């Protein structure tokens, strides 16, 4: 093609997904441009049609292995078999019943903060993590990182023994060595002793640290998190002159301004905030007034996909924008405070108008990893709008001792370099890997006489320490920690330490001379001294309630009264990101491996990242316009030069990224993570300095001439040229509530079959509804499904071939300018069609229908023809091309759900609507002599969803949530015109834009709805809200 437009895409490129009204949705830049490679890819339909067998075993090696196997088998036959006996319990453990799961309340820590969870246990073996519905911090939701903790627990690469300089030792030997050293240092008050921990919110651990420092007053305690709440803490100090935590009340907010904040997936309160935000968007619940969100961000965020209005600005301009917005709201701001030229005047005026009109009913929130100045400006704007005490509460900090961790780590390094440190106890964390490069942490450690590392893995830091102590996993140890509002969760173990690990609490007790006490005793002893105001008169009753409920009563941190902004105009006008030549580099944690601590977790590595759908890698993320100006294409390896330090990463073109900037993700390039995480991606910590940990300007990016293929799933399982997602503005929805049903799809010709394809479901009739207004694309549902249903990890090479096994995918659609598009997320599980195309083509009836409407799989019938996958219009079936399940590693067998069949090579699989949970609820209801009640069956994806976008239940129960959702005017069936009658349906997205910025999302249509002329809409019995209106408005999209 000869010409190109301003986006650098061919002029003739037209999306295959254009609707009749001319709107275009697309999932990738290749799809938007209709490149020849994409067309070829699309015609093949399945990426898995690439060469199927990847066998590193040569014929010669195969013969050698076979000969050795036969020889070993012969030798084994000459020995007497060992006398293994199966013995019953001498004393039956309480509540242990084979086949029945138990659930325990505990918490998982992330950057020291407690995230309350319920853990499912089978015969003493934890297998599944979900949120604690009774705890205000989670309200039943769980992120992908939380769910993946069970895989970390059974990781075969975990440290298994105490070691000294690589030699196996015992814990008693370590205790003796430590006691001798501490005794010698007692004379000078422990002057040369340093304790380095991650962020601590645990009252019990903080008490042990307090006891130690009382005994050794010259000893020092340092906290370090590479991705902690440093900026938020510094922003509060700048704004208020003291550390406080801002806790948002989003359910009260009519208008939200998000300043580079991914508040639905980051920070201590993200689960609570996602729930609260969603409460104001659930149109299915009746008369709800939706909130309105403005998002101004440098890189695409999960939260930003739900914003009505979004701007992509590089960090320096974003900071200018924040100052201009603050000035417009009456905040005294020094320096330049005019609206940046990159911000449209109408957009800016609409924002200011909305914020002023919602005084006391608005929220301004800055990102966890944004500079401190942005946080201070957000606090000042909230104060000016009267939000303090209304939509924003200020509480005492969660941390036991809030400190400037950057300054503390620098001081520790200086002390080590000066020879002032003789004993360094590193309790958790991995500072050798993630400490800022200018500190030269390893070089400084060389001068320390005794270095000890407590960690779950023998990692980069362990390599440079004398002693390494295996750390007990959070599901193996007693402890406590604070959640969002300060409420304490008592953490109880689900299983005895697999490798004899110890917790930081137990090691501190050892240092305090009380080695005999267990973590259980230490936690109980601390809370016994907490006083009657906390535990009441009966400690044992309080303790039992704390364990059962998952949180301790009367432990919420108090609100701080009278908090006032004391920062002057000069402080608020301080520039933290000066504009400079070159690019602005943005550092962000990864949404799966976080800061690197989950690098050896296969579920996390293979989880498609929200938006980018990148797996098994990190990349330099550019906007399409910036990449075009640099002459860079996706997969080109670029060199990023930051003050003389360089790293090389593959480029990734990211729609919605701010121009003239580049984002890199932390947590990759590990050397000693384990078999899964070693050498995955590129380590970017070497270019992240202490002075600029979040954003650095003046970065040079140059091409290297190398190529690196990125394993992205964005274009996998395409549904070609179809009507898929629908949305409208709130005004359009009110004018025509049934816009979603009357889409711009003319429908097929009249059904002339002699079969009516209808079956009377007299018992249960299971169905699911997915709300597009609520789904933020966080992918928590994907990992929850993987954990529940024993879905294997396939590896990077197989993902590149399109063979990932996730039963559920989240498709993201874009509309508009690739440099600043709107986004819409759509989860796609199996539709459980009543007239399922897959069932018709299976030659052995391996996929069939049951009397409750489930499209079931009979695994031992499947012969792997894959006809069903070819005939599925939704592309939701997955085939085991190879033996992906690990049958050899004993600990990995323990992670599997015993209620779900583990599939073999050559077998097709897919979403089952968690049939095992349905069966369990049916058995329980039968035993109690009743029908299954609404809410008895909560499928795995539904349980984890932070925004309650997923509803599941019995469509025959007219009072159930699913029946109400199916009857709602917004409900529609995807590809209903195919007459497949899907049980899984969708609720169209409704946005609430400012009237002056609203564009018609639902252009007028003269279509005849989803059915053929003169025929009712297909699937009307499970989507009663769908009608064949002859005149309606809709906004529909397809892809591929």
In this structure, what token pair is assigned to residue 1006? 């003269």
Residue 33 has pLDDT above 60, yes or no: no
Alpha helices in 639-747 (DSSP H): 730-735
Residue 448 has pLDDT above 90, yes or no: yes
Distance CA(569)–CA(534), nearest Å, equals: 42
| Residue 377 or residue 536, greater confidence | 377
Nearest to 387 by CA among 377, 395, 379: 379
| Residue 48 or residue 764, greater confidence | 764
Three-state secondary structure call for residue 371? coil
Nearest to 161 by CA among 508, 426, 468, 424: 468
Residue appearing with tokens 């999302």: 1001
Q: Total domain count for the chain?
A: 6
CA distances from 441 to 433, 672, 678 (A): 9, 17, 21
CA distances from 178 to 164, 182, 499 (A): 12, 6, 21
pLDDT at 766: 96
pLDDT at 192: 92
- The answer to whether residues 784 and 800 touch, using CB atoms and an 8 Å cutoff, is no
- The answer to whether residues 468 and 462 touch, using CB atoms and an 8 Å cutoff, is yes
DSSP codes, 424-446: EEEES--HHHHS-GGG-HHHHHT
- The answer to whether residues 240 and 228 touch, using CB atoms and an 8 Å cutoff, is no
pLDDT at 43: 55
Q: At what angle do helices 203-215 and 519-528 cross, to 10 degrees?
A: 90
Task: State the average pLDDT over residues 830-850.
Answer: 94
In a domain, 291, yes or no: yes
| Residue 621 or residue 816, greater confidence | 621
- pLDDT band of residue 1027 (cuts 50, 70, 90) is very low
Together in a domain, 485 and 419:
yes
Residue 163 has pLDDT above 90, yes or no: yes
In a domain, 267, yes or no: yes
Task: State the average pLDDT over residues 218-240.
Answer: 91
Together in a domain, 360 and 418:
no
Together in a domain, 256 and 366:
yes
Burial code (b: 16+ CB inside 10 Å, e: under 16) for 340-372 equals beebeeebbebbbebbeebeebbbbbbbbbbbb
- pLDDT band of residue 27 (cuts 50, 70, 90) is low
- pLDDT band of residue 718 (cuts 50, 70, 90) is low
pLDDT at 244: 92
- The answer to whether residues 650 and 708 touch, using CB atoms and an 8 Å cutoff, is yes
In a domain, 909, yes or no: no
Together in a domain, 409 and 520:
yes
Distance CA(667)–CA(502), nearest Å, equals: 25
Together in a domain, 140 and 176:
no
Task: State the average pLDDT over residues 378-395.
Answer: 93
* Half-sphere exposure (Cβ direction) of 824: Cα atoms closer than 13 Å: 29
Give the pairing type, strands 292-297 and 309-312.
Answer: parallel
- The answer to whether residues 625 and 174 touch, using CB atoms and an 8 Å cutoff, is no
- Give me the CATH number covering residue 615: 2.40.40.20
Together in a domain, 592 and 734:
no
**Which of the residue ranges 32-36, 975-979, 1001-1005 would you say has the lowest mean pLDDT?**
1001-1005
| Residue 824 or residue 58, greater confidence | 824
Residue 7 has pLDDT above 50, yes or no: no
- pLDDT band of residue 99 (cuts 50, 70, 90) is confident
pLDDT at 751: 57
In a domain, 650, yes or no: yes
∠ CA 275-276-281, nearest 5°, is 90
- The boundaries of the domain holding residue 342 are 245-395
Together in a domain, 251 and 380:
yes
Domain boundary among 395, 430, 449: 395
Residue 717 has pLDDT above 90, yes or no: no
Residue 425 has pLDDT above 70, yes or no: yes
Compute CA 868 distance to the chain's CA centroid, rounded to the nearest angstrom. Answer: 31
Residue 719 has pLDDT above 90, yes or no: no
Together in a domain, 251 and 379:
yes
Task: State the average pLDDT over residues 594-601.
Answer: 95
CA distance from start to end of the chain: 20
Together in a domain, 251 and 391:
yes
* Long-range contact pairs involving 758-765 (C-beta distance under 8 Å, separation at least 24): 758/1021, 759/834, 761/851, 761/852, 761/853, 761/956, 763/851, 763/852, 763/956, 764/852, 764/853, 764/918, 764/932, 764/954, 764/956, 765/852, 765/853, 765/954, 765/955, 765/956, 765/1022
Domain boundary among 494, 511, 529: 529
pLDDT at 754: 64
In a domain, 784, yes or no: no
Residue 930 has pLDDT above 90, yes or no: yes
Domain boundary among 395, 418, 446: 395
- Give me the CATH number covering residue 447: 3.40.50.740
Residue appearing with tokens 């309350």: 116
In a domain, 901, yes or no: no
Residue 1037 has pLDDT above 50, yes or no: no
In a domain, 565, yes or no: no
Together in a domain, 141 and 166:
no
Residue 1020 has pLDDT above 50, yes or no: no
In a domain, 953, yes or no: no
Predicted model pTM: 0.87
Work out the number of other CB atoms within 10 angstroms of the CB of residue 217.
Answer: 10
Distance CA(436)–CA(587), nearest Å, equals: 13
Task: State the average pLDDT over residues 569-578.
Answer: 73
Work out the number of other CB atoms within 10 angstroms of the CB of residue 672.
Answer: 19
Distance CA(602)–CA(892), nearest Å, equals: 12
**Which of the residue ranges 134-138, 539-543, 854-858 would you say has the lowest mean pLDDT?**
134-138
Together in a domain, 28 and 8:
yes
Across 832-982, the runs of DSSP E, i.e. the strands, are 847-849, 855-857, 878-879, 908-909, 950-954, 971-972
Compute CA 394 distance to the chain's CA centroid, rounded to the nearest angstrom. Answer: 26
Together in a domain, 407 and 485:
yes
pLDDT at 757: 66
pLDDT at 1028: 30
């Amino acid at each position: 093609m000869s010409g190109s437009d301003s986006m650098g895409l061919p002029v003739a490129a037209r999306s295959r997904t254009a609707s009749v009204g001319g709107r275009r949705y697309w999932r990738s830049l290749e799809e938007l441009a209709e490149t020849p490679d994409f067309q070829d890819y699309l015609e093949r339909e399945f990426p898995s049609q690439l060469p199927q067998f990847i066998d590193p075993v040569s014929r010669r090696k195969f013969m050698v292995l076979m000969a050795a196997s036969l020889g070993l088998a012969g030798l084994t036959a000459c020995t007497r078999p060992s006398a293994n006996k199966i013995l019953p319990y001498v004393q039956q453990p309480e509540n242990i019943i084979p086949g029945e799961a138990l659930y325990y309340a505990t918490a998982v820590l992330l950057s020291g903060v407690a995230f309350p969870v319920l853990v499912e246990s089978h015969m003493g073996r934890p297998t599944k993590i979900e949120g604690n519905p009774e705890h205000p911090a989670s309200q039943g939701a769980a992120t992908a990182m939380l769910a993946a903790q069970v895989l970390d627990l059974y990781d075969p690469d975990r440290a298994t023994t105490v070691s000294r300089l690589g030699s196996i030792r015992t814990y008693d030997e370590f205790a003796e060595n430590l006691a001798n050293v501490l005794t010698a240092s007692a004379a000078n008050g422990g002057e040369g002793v340093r304790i380095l921990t991650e962020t601590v919110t645990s009252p019990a651990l903080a008490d042990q640290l307090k006891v130690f420092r009382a005994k050794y007053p010259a000893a020092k305690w340092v906290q370090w998190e590479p991705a902690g709440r440093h900026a938020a803490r510094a922003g509060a100090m700048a704004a208020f002159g003291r550390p406080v935590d801002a806790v948002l009340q989003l359910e009260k907010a009519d208008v939200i301004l998000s300043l580079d904040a991914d508040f639905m997936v980051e920070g201590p309160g993200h689960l609570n905030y996602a729930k609260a935000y969603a409460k104001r968007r659930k149109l299915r619940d009746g008369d709800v007034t939706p909130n309105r969100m403005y998002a101004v961000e440098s890189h695409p965020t999960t939260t930003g996909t739900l914003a009505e209005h979004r701007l992509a600005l590089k960090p320096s301009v974003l900071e200018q924008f924040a100052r201009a917005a603050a000035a417009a709201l009456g905040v005294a701001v020094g320096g330049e405070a005019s609206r940046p030229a990159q911000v449209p005047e109408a957009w800016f005026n609409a924002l200011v108008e909305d914020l002023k009109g919602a005084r006391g009913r608005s929220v301004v929130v800055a990102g966890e990893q944004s500079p401190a100045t942005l946080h201070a400006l957000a606090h000042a704007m909230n104060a000016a709008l009267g939000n303090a005490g209304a939509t924003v509460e200020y509480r005492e900090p969660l941390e036991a001792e809030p400190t400037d961790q950057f300054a503390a780590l620098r001081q520790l390094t200086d002390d080590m370099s000066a020879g002032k440190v003789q004993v360094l106890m590193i309790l958790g964390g991995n500072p050798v890997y993630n400490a800022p490069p200018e500190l030269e942490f390893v070089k400084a450690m060389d001068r320390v006489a005794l270095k000890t590392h407590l960690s779950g893995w023998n990692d980069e830091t362990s390599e440079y320490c004398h002693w390494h102590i295996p750390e007990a996993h959070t599901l193996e140890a007693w402890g406590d920690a604070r959640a969002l509002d300060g409420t304490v969760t008592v953490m109880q173990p689900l299983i005895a330490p697999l490798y004899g690990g110890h917790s930081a609490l137990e090691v501190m007790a050892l240092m305090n001379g009380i080695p005999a006490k267990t973590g259980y005793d230490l936690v109980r002893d601390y809370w016994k001294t907490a006083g009657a105001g906390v535990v009441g008169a009966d400690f044992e009753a309080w303790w039992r309630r704390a364990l059962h409920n998952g949180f301790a009563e009367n432990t919420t941190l108090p609100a701080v009264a009278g908090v006032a902004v004391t920062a002057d105009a000069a402080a608020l006008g301080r520039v933290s990101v000066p504009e400079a030549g070159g690019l602005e580099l943005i550092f962000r944690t990864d949404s799966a491996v976080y800061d690197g601590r989950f690098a050896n977790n296969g579920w996390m590595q293979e989880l498609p990242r929200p938006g980018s759908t990148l797996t098994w890698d990190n990349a330099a993320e550019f906007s399409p316009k910036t990449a075009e100006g640099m002459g860079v294409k996706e997969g080109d390896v670029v060199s990023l030069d930051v003050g003389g330090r360089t790293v090389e990463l593959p480029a990734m073109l990211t729609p919605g990224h701010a121009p003239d900037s580049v984002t890199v993700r932390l947590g990759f390039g590990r050397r000693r993570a384990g078999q899964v995480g070693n050498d995955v991606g590129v380590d970017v910590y070497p270019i992240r300095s202490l002075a600029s940990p979040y954003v650095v300007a003046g970065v040079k990016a140059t091409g290297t001439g190398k190529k690196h293929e990125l394993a992205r799933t964005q274009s996998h399982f395409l549904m070609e040229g179809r009507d898929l997602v629908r949305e409208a503005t709130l005004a359009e929805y009110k004018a025509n509530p049934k816009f979603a049903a009357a889409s711009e799809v003319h429908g097929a010709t009249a059904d002339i079959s002699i079969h009516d394809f209808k079956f009377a479901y007299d018992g249960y009739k299971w169905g699911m509804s997915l709300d597009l207004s609520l789904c933020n694309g966080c992918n928590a549902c994907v990992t929850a499904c993987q954990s529940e249903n024993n879905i294997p990890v396939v590896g990077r090479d197989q993902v590149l071939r399109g063979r990932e096994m996730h039963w559920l995918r989240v498709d993201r659609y874009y509309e508009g300018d690739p440099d600043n598009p709107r986004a819409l997320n759509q989860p796609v599980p199996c539709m459980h069609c009543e007239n399922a195309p897959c069932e018709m083509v299976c030659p052995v009836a391996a996929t069939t229908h049951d009397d409750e409407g489930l499209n079931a799989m009979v695994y031992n019938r499947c012969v792997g023809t894959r006809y069903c996958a070819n005939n599925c219009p939704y592309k939701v079936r997955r085939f085991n091309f190879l033996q992906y399940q690990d049958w050899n590693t004993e600990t990995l067998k323990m992670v599997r759900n015993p209620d779900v069949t583990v599939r073999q090579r050559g077998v097709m699989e897919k979403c089952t609507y968690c049939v095992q949970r349905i069966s369990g609820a049916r058995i329980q209801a039968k035993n109690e002599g009743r029908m299954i009640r609404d809410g008895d069956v909560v499928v795995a994806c539904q349980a984890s969803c932070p925004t309650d976008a997923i509803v599941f239940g019995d469509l025959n129960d007219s009072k159930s949530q699913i029946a109400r959702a199916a009857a709602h005017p917004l409900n529609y069936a995807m590809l209903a015109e195919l007459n497949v009658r899907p049980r899984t349906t969708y609720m169209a997205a409704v946005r609430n834009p400012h009237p002056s910025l609203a564009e018609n999302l639902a252009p007028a249509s003269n279509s005849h709805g989803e059915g053929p002329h003169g025929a009712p809409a297909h699937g009307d019995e499970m989507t009663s809200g769908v009608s064949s209106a002859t005149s309606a408005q809709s906004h529909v999209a397809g892809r591929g």
